[in-house]
Structure 1
């Protein structure tokens, strides 16, 4: 044992002497440091550190001692430039050589020959007259890898990291003792890059700190930005790719702070009215009054029943009128124009040509895609915002506001909700043939998910049913999330009944869907079963509670002797939001920044701007069936 200890001590001494002789140093790893930051600090390559510290490849533990090859640190050479200023005449004396003359005048032999070309063919002789070049010599010293930087007022780590093109972690690696909060005037080390490479923080944008394991796909779900859009704002991404801790410039939004955490603070615009100028809005709906039989009340009611567009328009418009009454009480001055689009593009063109829209602050509607697109296109030249009440697949021109969240966004929110459940879970996706593509897209989000499809007939047609064993075999003890993707009421009824029978204390089944539709609300589907299975889904709007004291519901019921439909509530919520945004900001576009999130009776609005286009509503609800009611999941 003593012998072994002596040999070990000798080896350690020998190695330390060898390290010293070869100009090596040591570094004690601090908590949170990265190999990249350490390499940057000492000006050496990561591979050079790994070569001497192979265990660091597996894990970089705090307090580990690393050997740093200082001799391999990058040492830029001094750059010397020579600028010809003129010549000196020199007459060669006896015993002088070209070498001695070059040394005397601090030039090279080649430089002498260049200006005395006869020397290329002849040897130097006594009495030769030479033109000796005279140079202005400029030496440029190499830049240090880092430099001292003075922290400015209200400047945090992420701002400095963004300015110098490094991650927050790399900034901390350069300054181990910098502390959590920076103080104005504090001296820290930053990369010594050229002034042109330093980026300034533009307050017109927001900034996002990339989290661990975040790729472009996750950022698309969280930020709503494609990879090419992120690269357009952050060109360095094309070379470096995404790195944990790097700070990205993104379109302005108050919904996201630099750490990437959603801010759920709502703006109550009723208390923030500052613009008391008269607001001018237009409402365009497909009433199709030219088709209504006005001979009697009975005929009018019959016309409404026969025409779904008239029915929908009247419902929505009653909500608009109730909102206008509420806005009048708040002291907002309004001019409102109402137009019947008749569900015709030609009528929309006629309305725009025959009326002056230049002083209109915003247009609500039309309801249908073709007529809406035409209005948005025509009014784009005046930069007039046009808000769609129900459209989801619109062309997002820069003046378009899509108030209804897209189906893809609802699906992504439901998927992310389940991913956020930290409990161990089993995922099953049940679908019919028509929804096979949706089912496959959900499976890509959960690689371990199992698929179950509707039974098929001899010709390959869906029979719209399953056997109990088809589902039982896919379930596991514990928590099971089962996606049901269908528009068939019969298939929904069959699957829901089977799942309800299999749900137990040992095998918990939570039913979810990426597309809540009429199939789940049909008479064949038991609400008792949906409540038992806690059906979860993402939705653009929640249902108001009858037990809550709601001034809108009370006023609407008194006026129209009936409770408001969802279309009436949307008319109220959207009109309130548009006008209050106009009354609390310079215009609707600026309100996106000043009022990031608003919420009313059943709908909330958090508009985000596409990089090269208009605005879409990013606000959704997650709701579930509970005790025969649909309630919001907090």
Structure 2
């Protein structure tokens, strides 16, 4: 053995311990061997070898030593084969039995009877002449194959199968060069020939993350907040083979990054990630209630639309869907779209589900109403078909449900965190009417030093929805004051905002007046703040902040969707039309850029379109909810987004708070 080889073997010994203890072995490359032939010999894949020996990808040198991981393939089966060579004669003696004879000649009782058939009918007696079979015994080792076949299940994509058999997506593709980009139910694939007990199942209590190029344990720690030890505990395969590009890792469902307002780095433009050009089948369910429409004339149709809010909303949303379909086709995406009128009736929804085949549908958008939505989501659980709710909140989150509308709690939490992050605020005041006193108390619990002001009442104790200037002025302090206003009454909003705007004070040294800055916020933006009775000038002066599920697009901007919508419908799109466009774009782009929409949650943590953004997070036992909102404010009579950066420490606290509530 030359010195270099000896030193290398010593390094292997100290680095890995014994090969048996650490599930590795060393192989010295011989003349004519290839990575493929070596992999076949040890029942591993070429990628397994490359993972531990990256230099072998460049050149495989004779006499070089490779580290070979332990094979996951089942151990070979050993079969004992007996070949009859002849017989030995035997005369039965006193007290001998079939059992004692079988032990003496190392044969079975059945074998003795088989070659002495009279023993089937008569007992063994002294003096019986027997012929004892003599066998040549050999053990045949049945070498297992590297692979076995696997039949693809409904809605099963590459990453699920790769995870199940402990390989990367690339390795699965290497084993099946003709498999295609999209798997079909019933398709037969080659997979590693591991035992059934070693196959891993997708656990809905966890999320799954595909390792990207150049990602090591340090980058994953920064991205997922998980130490190497935690990842290895959840994924024992890491201890043997380390990280590989394309490997699918099990991670805690809450470890995926939250969407952080203003951090564009985590936003993903799915248009740049389209990889699947196979036709996708989506379904849209809306309560058009066309059975209520009077089709006698154009004016009658118009009246029907004006009278029926469900028809009006459905038509707006559907117009956005059509715009999205047109945009997707221009991107080369092939779609089959079925649109159903649910008629706002649960019975009609059941008829739709009974009369149509949804087994091969890739995604369903709608229905709008909670009962109808739950019927569809529950029925399609068996196919694992994703069902996306456009407007519902507090839905029953089955594993296949995506709630695209952020919850009211999330809106409230975003405003609370904004105020907490403002280190310049010297004073916090909460103004509310009687109806919203519980909300005021909740805010008081968040800010112990906050002062509470309630609207005035008459002698009978009835709320009159107003305050006096003195009620507020007495509580203001020099410096920055943040005022919460919690109400659904437009008159009360007008009353409070006009008083607050009048109390803003600039610094005047000569008159010895200190500056008083007032920032108005609310945890519940509603129609009262948008009423004609409320002066938008006052809202701008007060830098009115609130959280919203969608931001208003700039009508004067150069938005391609808005311009195209104007050309087709001769009107600017309302928020329902924009939601139809944004949601359809997001659903389809997730389908064509990832293995499936579930995997896209990990690969595209935040997407954003005209007015809406989506950052889905999975519940521990259940489906997905949109966990991102906009923080906006009035600025010079316009509503603009607040680019607030949340620190990692604050984000961690926010995550812990959210998890504790669940």
Q: What TM-score bracket applies, with the shorter chain setting the length?
A: 0.5 to 0.7
**Residues of 1 paired with 2:219 and 2:397: CA distance?**
36
Q: What secondary structure does 2:564 align onto? A: helix
**Residues of 2 paired with 1:540 and 1:161: CA distance?**
30
**Residues of 2 paired with 1:325 and 1:565: CA distance?**
18
**Residues of 2 paired with 1:436 and 1:315: CA distance?**
37
Q: Which residue is 1:471 aligned to?
A: 472
Quote how far apart the aligned CAs of 1:155 are.
4.2
Q: What secondary structure does 2:552 align onto? A: coil
Point out which structure has higher relative CO (alpha carbons under 8 A, 6+ apart): 2
Counterparts of residues 137-286 of structure 1 (less than 5 Å): 154-156=216-218, 162=227, 204-206=249-251, 249-255=252-258, 264-286=265-287
Counterpart pick for 1:633 among 624, 633, 642: 642
Matched, 1:343 2:344: yes
Q: Which residue is 2:329 aligned to?
A: 328
Change (3 A) 1:582 1:444: same
Is the Cα contact below 8 Å between 2:268 and 2:607 reproduced in 1? Answer: yes
**Residues of 1 paired with 2:639 and 2:274: CA distance?**
34
Counterparts of residues 4-403 of structure 1 (less than 5 Å): 154-156=216-218, 162=227, 204-206=249-251, 249-255=252-258, 264-403=265-404
Quote how far apart the aligned CAs of 1:512 are.
0.4
Quote how far apart the aligned CAs of 1:457 are.
1.6
Is the Cα contact below 8 Å between 2:253 and 2:618 reproduced in 1? Answer: no
Q: What secondary structure does 1:204 align onto? A: strand
Quote how far apart the aligned CAs of 1:306 are.
0.5
Matched, 1:507 2:507: no
TM-score by length of 2: 0.59
**Residues of 2 paired with 1:251 and 1:544: CA distance?**
31
Quote how far apart the aligned CAs of 1:423 are.
1.3
Quote how far apart the aligned CAs of 1:384 are.
0.7
Is the Cα contact below 8 Å between 1:204 and 1:252 reproduced in 2? Answer: no
**Residues of 1 paired with 2:555 and 2:219: CA distance?**
49
Is the Cα contact below 8 Å between 2:258 and 2:627 reproduced in 1? Answer: no
Quote how far apart the aligned CAs of 1:523 are.
1.0
Is the Cα contact below 8 Å between 2:425 and 2:481 reproduced in 1? Answer: no
Counterpart pick for 2:593 among 578, 584, 597: 584
Quote how far apart the aligned CAs of 1:157 are.
11
Quote how far apart the aligned CAs of 1:456 are.
1.0
Counterparts of residues 495-534 of structure 1 (less than 5 Å): 495-505=496-506, 506-534=515-543
Q: Deviations over 1:465-512 (max 9, x none)?
A: 001111111111100010000000111111111111111221100000
Count of paired positions: 409
Change (3 A) 1:606 1:411: same
**Residues of 1 paired with 2:569 and 2:403: CA distance?**
29
Structure 2's unaligned 5+ residue stretches are 1-214, 231-235, 507-514, 644-662
Is the Cα contact below 8 Å between 1:255 and 1:263 reproduced in 2? Answer: no
**Residues of 2 paired with 1:432 and 1:205: CA distance?**
48
Is the Cα contact below 8 Å between 2:482 and 2:520 reproduced in 1? Answer: yes
Q: What secondary structure does 2:577 align onto? A: helix
Quote how far apart the aligned CAs of 1:254 are.
4.2
Supply the RMSD in Å over aligned alpha carbons: 2.7
Change (3 A) 1:491 1:205: farther
**Residues of 2 paired with 1:204 and 1:451: CA distance?**
49
Q: Deviations over 1:273-322 (max 9, x none)?
A: 00111000000000000000000010000000100000000000000000
Quote how far apart the aligned CAs of 1:425 are.
2.3
TM-score by length of 1: 0.62
